[in-house]
Amino acid sequence: MPLNFSIFKEFLILIGGPLFQVIACFFLILLLPSNKDLILLYHYGILFFNLLPIYPLDGGKIINLILSIFIPYKLSLKLSIYLSYLIIIFILFIKREFTINIIVMLILALFLITKEKRKVNHLHNKFILERYLNNYNFNNSKIVNNINNFYRNRRHLVKENYIYYLEKDYLIKKYQNFSKKR
């Protein structure tokens, strides 16, 4: 999925997974009413885990979308990842008993968060490159001083050395200079 995708459309896609799970749970209970308690136990466990604000789970991605409305994309990625680490630490402090399932899930979550942390610069570069290669027509605009401050769903006016550049012109200049240096 492109990184410059509409925040609202991406939100709808993200809540589609948990919504489908709720519908599937409902139908499973209708089909197997004698197993209702077991179905609900698994349903709530999976739903709760998936909606934890841990990036890259759906809950973490929703937090990242909300953050990216108010702060630059790269910063929203970093904050989502640091918040994910804090959530894991919080779970470790509040949980009194640890079953093997919880330990495995926490280790898996830490692995995924660390993997995503390593990809922040790559994702940001992909985000910028998409803007360079494609023409996006966003309604809102923002004045920034470098590409690290680019927002999702906004076009930018880049101020560099008291000169203002349209986003596309700035990116063309930046990538042309980069290709000349190589």
For each successive 10 residues of the chain (182 residues), what is the average pLDDT?
Answer: 84 91 91 91 87 89 94 96 93 82 86 94 93 88 92 91 90 75 57
CA 159 to chain centre: 27
Looking at the fold, whether 97 and 147 belong to one and the same domain comes out as no
Edge to edge, the sheet with strand 154-160 lists 140-144, 154-160, 163-166
Cβ atoms of 145 and 167 closer than 8 Å: no
Cα distance between residue 53 and residue 49, in whole Å: 9
Q: Is residue 1 part of a domain?
A: no
Round to whole Å and give the CA distance between 129 and 99.
44
Find tokens 């509409």 and name the residue.
6
Q: Which of 17, 113, 117, 119 is nearest to 58 (CA)?
A: 17
Question: Which residues span the domain enclosing 63?
Answer: 7-128
Residues 101 and 159 in one domain: no
Q: Which of 63, 79, 82 is CA-nearest to residue 10?
A: 63
- Measured CA to CA in angstroms, residue 61 lies from 51, 66, 116 at distances of 9, 9, 11
Q: Is residue 118 part of a domain?
A: yes
3-state SS, residue 115: helix
Q: Indicate if 43 and 71 belong to the same structural domain.
A: yes
Beta bridge partners of 163: 160
Last residue of a domain, one of 128, 147, 169: 128
Residues 69, 101, single domain; the answer is yes
pLDDT of residue 5: 82
Q: Are residues 80 and 159 in the same domain?
A: no
DSSP annotation of 99: -
| Number of domains the chain contains | 2
> What is the pLDDT at residue 93?
84
Burial classification of residue 143, based on how many CB atoms lie within 10 Å of its CB (0-12 exposed, 13-18 middle, 19 or more buried): exposed
Is the same domain home to 38 and 94? yes
Residue 170 shares a structural domain with residue 103: no
Residue 133 lies in a domain: no
